[in-house]
Amino acid sequence: MLTLHRRTLLALAVTAATAPAFAEDIAAPAAPALSNPQISVILDAVAYSDNLQGGGDAFIGEAAGVTHAHGGHGGHEGHGGLEEGFNLREAEVVMSATVDTLFDAYTNLAFGHEGVEIEEAYFTTRTLPAGWQLKGGKFLSGFGYTNARHPHSWDFVDQNLAYRSLLGDHGLNDTGVQITWSPATDTWMQFGAEALQGHEQEKFGSGLDIDAFAVELADELGVGTGDVEADGILPSIERRGPQIYTGFFKLAPDLGAAHAVQLGLNYALHKGQQEAHEEGTPVTDMFIATGDASLLGLEAVYKRNATGRYGQGALRLQAEYLLLDKDLAIAYHTDAAEIGEAVTATQDGFYVQGTWGFAARWTAGLRYDATGISNEVSEGGTTTTLPDSSRISAAVTFRPSEFSAWRLQVASADITDEGGAQEDVAQVMLQFNMSLGAHGAHAF
Tell me what the mean pLDDT of segment 315-342 comes to. Answer: 92
pLDDT band at 274 (very low <50, low <70, confident <90, very high): confident
Q: According to the model, what pLDDT value does residue 372 have?
A: 95
Write down all domains in the chain, each with its CATH number in brackets: 43-437 (2.40.160.10)
Rounded percentage of the chain residues whose pLDDT exceeds 90: 61
Q: Nearest to residue 287, comparing CAs of 224, 217, 201, 215?
A: 217
Tell me what the mean pLDDT of segment 285-308 comes to. Answer: 93
Tell me what the mean pLDDT of segment 237-246 comes to. Answer: 83
Residues 6+ apart with CB under 8 A from 63: 161, 165, 371, 372, 389, 415, 416, 417
Q: Is the pLDDT of residue 36 over 50?
A: yes
Q: According to the model, what pLDDT value does residue 315 have?
A: 97
**Is the pLDDT higher at 393 or at 210?**
393
Tell me what the mean pLDDT of segment 116-129 comes to. Answer: 94
**Is the pLDDT higher at 371 or at 402?**
371
- By DSSP bridging, strand 188-196 and strand 362-379 are unpaired
Q: According to the model, what pLDDT value does residue 15 have?
A: 38
pLDDT band at 223 (very low <50, low <70, confident <90, very high): low
Alpha-carbon span 73 to 276, nearest angstrom = 11
Q: Is the pLDDT of residue 9 over 70?
A: no
Alpha-carbon span 432 to 43, nearest angstrom = 8
Rounded percentage of the chain residues whose pLDDT exceeds 70: 84
> Based on C-alpha coordinates, what's the Rg of the chain?
25
pLDDT digit string, tens, across residues 131-172? 999 999 999 999 999 999 998 899 999 999 999 999 988 899
**Is the pLDDT higher at 282 or at 24?**
282
Q: According to the model, what pLDDT value does residue 419 have?
A: 80
Q: According to the model, what pLDDT value does residue 231 have?
A: 47
Q: According to the model, what pLDDT value does residue 22 have?
A: 33
pLDDT digit string, tens, across residues 56-68? 999 999 999 988 6
Q: Is the pLDDT of residue 239 over 90?
A: no
Average predicted confidence (pLDDT) for the chain = 85
Q: According to the model, what pLDDT value does residue 5 have?
A: 40
Q: According to the model, what pLDDT value does residue 225 have?
A: 56
pLDDT band at 439 (very low <50, low <70, confident <90, very high): low
What DSSP character marks residue 63? Answer: B
Q: Lowest mean pLDDT: which of 108-117, 132-141, 256-265?
A: 108-117
**Is the pLDDT higher at 13 or at 438?**
438
Q: Lowest mean pLDDT: which of 74-83, 176-185, 333-342?
A: 74-83
What are the DSSP E strand ranges found in 99-172? Answer: 103-112, 115-125, 132-140
Residues 6+ apart with CB under 8 A from 60: 161, 164, 389, 391, 413, 415, 425
Q: According to the model, what pLDDT value does residue 368 have?
A: 98
pLDDT band at 303 (very low <50, low <70, confident <90, very high): very high
Q: Is the pLDDT of residue 291 over 80?
A: yes
Candidate ranges 219-223, 229-233, 275-279; pick with highest mean pLDDT: 275-279
Q: According to the model, what pLDDT value does residue 293 have?
A: 94
**Is the pLDDT higher at 76 or at 238?**
238
Q: According to the model, what pLDDT value does residue 125 have?
A: 97
Tell me what the mean pLDDT of segment 306-325 comes to. Answer: 96
Q: Is the pLDDT of residue 7 over 60?
A: no
Helix (H, G, I), strand (E, B) or coil at 218: helix
pLDDT band at 213 (very low <50, low <70, confident <90, very high): confident
Query: Secondary structure of the chain: what % helix, strand, coil (to 5)?
Result: 15, 50, 35
How buried is residue 101: exposed, middle or buried, by Cβ count under 10 Å (0-12/13-18/19+)? Answer: exposed
Q: Nearest to residue 92, comparing CAs of 35, 149, 47?
A: 149
Q: Is the pLDDT of residue 121 over 70?
A: yes
